[in-house]
Amino acid sequence: MADHPVALSNVGFSFGEGALRRPVLRGLDLTVEPGEVVLLTGPSGSGKTTLLTLVGALRAMQQGSCVVLGQELLGAPESARVALRRRIGFIFQNHNLLGFLTARQNVAMALELHPDFGDEAARLGMAGEILGRVGLADFADVVPAKLSGGQRQRVAVARALVAGPGLILADEPTAALDRQSGRDVVDLMRGLAKDRGMPVLLVTHDPRILDVADRVVAMEDGRIVG
Amino acid sequence: MLPLRLAWRQLRAERARLFSAIAGVMFACVLVFMQLGFRSALFDSATALPQAMQGELFLIHPLTTALFRPETFPRVRAYQTLALPEVQVAVPIYMAQAIWRNPVNGTHRAIQLIGFDTEAGAVSFPGLDALIPALKRPDTIAFDWKSRPEFGPVPALLAERGPFQVEIGHRMVEIVGTVALGASFGADGNAVMTETNFRRLVKNRDTSNIDLVALRLRPNADPLTVQKQLTALLPGDVTVVTHDQLVAWERNYWETATPIGFIFAFGSLMGLIVGMVIVYQILFADIASHLAEYATLKAMGFSAGYLRLVVMGAAAILAGLGFVPGILASTGLYRVVAKATLLPLRMQADRGFVVLALIFGMCSIAGLLAMRKLRDADPADMF
């Protein structure tokens, strides 16, 4: 168990109280192997996004066991969850870059949280390097408003990966992109993750990108169905 | 430092919003400076008369609330003080208000008359010494050139035609020169004269009753010891006070017995509240329009405390950026207002520090209020 970056067993989660209580996850089990790219699919309302917020320590657990990067999340205090989030790279449906910072500064923000990445100059240097890896070397000092949608999402991928996280969580990273940009973004993500042995848990509706996965997990009504 | 830098970069990105926030802080700053300035000028000008008195000790009626409205006491108290060898001179002072007729347009206005033995050296105003010989003539006065302009262009007329006649209390008197005293909230203008000329002007006044006594002590006498001895010696219809106590007496009246002190404090508070609301609006709008980004930062592992520091950093930056133009504008306005009102209004370092502290306090409260919006930045809503 401890070797798995993500290990869920019998996880249950409900929204609402009393008569309005609505379960979204029911007794769910899932493990992700080191370096594995796992793709979660399923109709909307199947609970895949809720699952992602639990694994990402963005929500408090209700029942079952969820061990992420060695941290048991059931009953974990806020401080432990904040500390765990620093070891996870997040990629959202929208890029959510800070509009008043350049691409390079946005990426460097992810390094500010870790004292071992050195001073400001070292952080900006690392940020520039990874921006080169996602093909944006020439756009490092441009603010997000001057980038295309695909370029912004590539900056977001760079930001998620720059600090060398133990796990990458992505929620519909291609939803707001055209076919080619979306393809570029997931290919980049997969390439960088594979190079560094980072496992990826990716939620998507997009059938065009199913082939990036090592394993596709389908969900329905809060359970894994295949 | 990093949250402060992030706050600055965020503020800088929205120029229009930044400038309106700075203008709001500056507005509050100027308003508070003006209120505190007026308050201080009021107290300075209200105490100009006792400030100008040169005695070490003074006799005053215990029921006197302020010098422009004195209670009288027997003149003989002045002479009783001479029983102590330490008392060198005792100068009785008469005060009254009379109607002044503007020498140019004939309008009426109340003027404060101050009568005393001008040669005794216990009371002196700038410019008085040179006028002492002229004031000995019957029906002469020295006019306070810092009186409000409604009394007429007296200094200009003096320069033009030399000493001339004006009407005070239905009697013609001659202005022989000017002294500097200053208009106050209690008296719009002042005229200084000898005791004898005062009696000529204020006829219905019992001359055996006086309003104030200034005492000069011998050079090596200790005022506090003499004060104790005099208090024991004199009956209860006079109080013996030192010069500082006399000034404090006058100041106390304006501070506590009138709503003026409260009005200025209230005005300052209003300015601070308006400024706080503006800063709050700006900070709130900044958070509200960046909720997704803030939630992303939380998801990346930035603590709620870091984001609170960003908001407080923005508040502190706005306070600093608004204060600098605020104090500059206020210094300029002080000059303009001092010229227009003849009130002693000027920028003082200690007031600057008080306002700086108030402005930072104002922005901090705005920051603390705006900070509550950060709770809406929930990273769980991001997916």
Cα–Cα distance between A86 and B33 in angstroms, integer? 47
What is the model's pLDDT at position B231?
93
- Measured between CB atoms, does A82 come within 8 Å of chain B? yes
Cα–Cα distance between B351 and B268 in angstroms, integer? 13
pLDDT band at A1 (very low <50, low <70, confident <90, very high): very low
What is the model's pLDDT at position A195?
85
Cα–Cα distance between B129 and B138 in angstroms, integer? 18
B100-126 residue pLDDT tens: 999 999 899 999 999 999 888 777 788
Cα–Cα distance between B198 and B356 in angstroms, integer? 48
- For the domain covering A1-87+169-226, report its CATH number: 3.40.50.300
Nearest chain A Cα distance for residue B294, angstroms: 9
A95-108 residue pLDDT tens: 788 888 999 999 99
Mean of all residue pLDDT scores within chain A: 87
Cα–Cα distance between A188 and A192 in angstroms, integer? 6
Task: Show residues of chain B in contact with A105, CB under 8 Å.
Answer: 9
Which residues on neighbouring strands pair with residue B362, listed in sequence order? none
Which of A40, A90, A168 best tests the B interface by mutation, with the highest count of B CBs <10 A?
Answer: A90
What is the model's pLDDT at position A99?
86
Distances in Å between the alpha carbon of B138 and those of B96, B133, B195?
18, 11, 11
Domains of chain A, by residue range, sit at 1-87+169-226, 97-164
A156-187 residue pLDDT tens: 989 998 888 889 999 888 887 888 888 888 88
Cα–Cα distance between A174 and B352 in angstroms, integer? 56
In the predicted model, residues of chain B with pLDDT beneath 50 are none
The residue count for chain A: 226
Cα–Cα distance between B234 and B249 in angstroms, integer? 20
Within chain A, strands assigned E span 6-15, 22-32, 37-41, 63-68, 71-72, 88-91, 167-171, 200-203, 215-220, 223-224
* Closest CA relative to residue B1, chosen from B295, B309, B228: B309
Task: Show residues of chain B in contact with A59, CB under 8 Å.
Answer: 380
- Name the residue of chain B whose CA is nearest to A163's CA: B300
A222 is written with which tokens?
A: 């809060």
| Amino acid letter for position A62 | Q
| Strand B239-242 versus strand B108-116 pairing type | unpaired
pLDDT band at A2 (very low <50, low <70, confident <90, very high): low
Nearest chain A Cα distance for residue B324, angstroms: 25
B11-23 residue pLDDT tens: 888 888 899 889 9
Closest CB to A59: pick one of B13, B298, B380. Answer: B380
What is the model's pLDDT at position B320?
94
Nearest chain B Cα distance for residue A37, angstroms: 19
Which residues on neighbouring strands pair with residue A199, listed in sequence order? none
- Cβ atoms of A222 and A10 within 8 Å: the answer is no
With a cut of 60, say whether residue A188 has pLDDT above it.
Answer: yes
Cα–Cα distance between A134 and A185 in angstroms, integer? 9
| Amino acid letter for position B236 | G
What lies within 8 Å, CB to CB, of B282 at 6+ separation is B17, B20, B21, B24, B318
Encode B271-303: b = buried (16+ Cβ within 10 Å), e = exposed. Answer: bbeebbebbbbbbbebbeebbbbbbbbbbbbbb
Domains of chain B, by residue range, sit at 2-45+259-381, 62-237
